[in-house]
Amino acid sequence: MVGESTVQKGLQDVVALESRITFIDGKQGRLIYRGYDIRDLAAQSTFEEVAYLLWYGRLPTAAQLTELRTTLGGLRTLPPEAAAIVDRMPKNANPMDVLRTAVSALAMFEPGETKTGPSSIGGAQRLTAALPTILGQFHRRRAGLPKLRARPELSHAAYLLYALLDTEPSPLDVNAIDVALILHADHELNASTFAARVTASTLSDLYSAVTSAIGTLKGPLHGGANERVMELLDEIKTPDRAESVVHARLAKHERIMGFGHRVYRVEDPRATILREWSRKIGEERKDIHYYDLLRAVELVVMKEKGLYPNVDLYSGSIYTLLGVPHDLFTPIFAASRVSGWTAHVLEEYDDLRLIRPTSAYVGPTDQRYVPIDERS
């Protein structure tokens, strides 16, 4: 009956499917990939190990890890036709638009068997390897940097930094990015992963699913929040101004980016780890002003709203200190989350059921059709 159903706005607390990939304990502040605590993975593993874990459900042996690294290194070069499309994108384009369009285009030049069903693990690895290349190729052209080389000897984290900055990154910088990539790799049924699974659930292909996910990640309530955090810090300038600037924003009913979460009721464990990395990179660069500003903002937001930081609060300060332009923050998120999106798409293909919820209709039902020349 019209208007009688109960609506869970934003699908909050709705359990839409079973998954073996990621568990979030929102009350204890724990994040677990395939049974492993994110704190252990961030401290001891690498992005490639985590990607293997997400895709295959177990940590790799040394030989399996070497094989995956070789595979990813060999998949970095785009087919010439796809590279030409990236080269034609306007230099002032939003990098997330570039990524979404390039992934969509790449599908047309890839073998069909890598796109759906269990063998789309090939597509998962191709996309994971290719995203830094797409970003690097686009950014280097707009920034006037030398052409990108595939550098198969570099880890995923080192290649991402090299692709974006054209530098030989220090081990500490690579470690910082590697940790950020590990922390962003998956997060249960977040909006972009859900979008990917909805697309895959129609038996559409992996590239379409990842294209849907990139478009969904772009929004400031999801992946786009860390860029906005840096805008806030630029406005605050000194820690003593944190209170007045945050108050002014709250008075206008604006959200403070980098705070709050749909699932965590305590601090997001990813924020805890990234806070330490923000301090570490700041100390190494002898510039901890972002860290100090963020600590000041944290105190005000906790006092005023009782909200805890999320993953987006500290990541932007790390990327900025490493020299990454702000509009590449969300694309870096995508370059990590693609591993999680594709793991979920593989899981969806394995246990497929069309995702098609229903809505409570609240519009009219008995309108009389008025011919067009009688309408006012």
Q: Where in the sequence numbering do the catalytic residues fall?
A: 261, 312
Residue 161 burial by Cβ neighbours in a 10 Å radius (0-12, 13-18, 19+): buried
Phi, psi of 266 (to 5 degrees): -125, -170
Token pair, residue 203, equals 């038996």
* 187 sits near ligand CMC (criterion: CB under 6 A): yes
For tokens 């972002």, what's the residue?
Answer: 290
Q: Does 215 contact ligand CMC by CB under 6 A?
A: no
Report the nearest approach of ligand CMC to the CB of residue 312 (Å): 5
Q: Answer whether 322's CB lies under 8 Å from 173's CB.
A: yes
Q: Please tell me whether residue 218 binds ligand CMC under the rule CB under 6 A.
A: no
Q: Does 307 bind ligand CMC (CB under 6 A)?
A: yes
Residue with smaller CB distance to ligand CMC, 11 or 121: 11
The residue range among 81-89, 122-130, 155-163, 217-225 that interacts with ligand CMC, by the rule CB under 6 A, is 217-225
Nearest CA-CA partner of 180 in 42, 33, 320: 42
The region of 72-80, 155-163, 167-175, 218-226 touching ligand CMC under the rule CB under 6 A is: 218-226
Does 102 participate in binding ligand CMC (rule CB under 6 A)? Answer: no
244's tokens: 């007045």
Contacts of 120 (CB under 8 A, 6+ apart): 114, 205, 206, 342, 345, 346, 349
Q: Which residues ranging from 219 to 278 are in contact with ligand CMC (CB under 6 A)?
A: 221-223, 225, 255-262
Question: Does the protein bind ligand CMC through residue 305 (CB under 6 A)?
Answer: yes
Q: Which stretch binds ligand CMC (CB under 6 A): 151-159, 307-315, 323-331, 337-345?
A: 307-315
d(CA 331, CA 96): 6
CB of 56 to ligand CMC, least distance (A): 24
Q: How far is CA 119 from the centre of its chain?
A: 24
- Tell me if residue 274 falls in helix, strand or coil: helix
Answer yes or no whether residue 95 interacts with ligand CMC by CB under 6 A: no
Given the rule CB under 6 A, which residues bind ligand CMC? Answer: 10, 187, 190, 221-223, 225, 255-262, 305, 307, 310-312
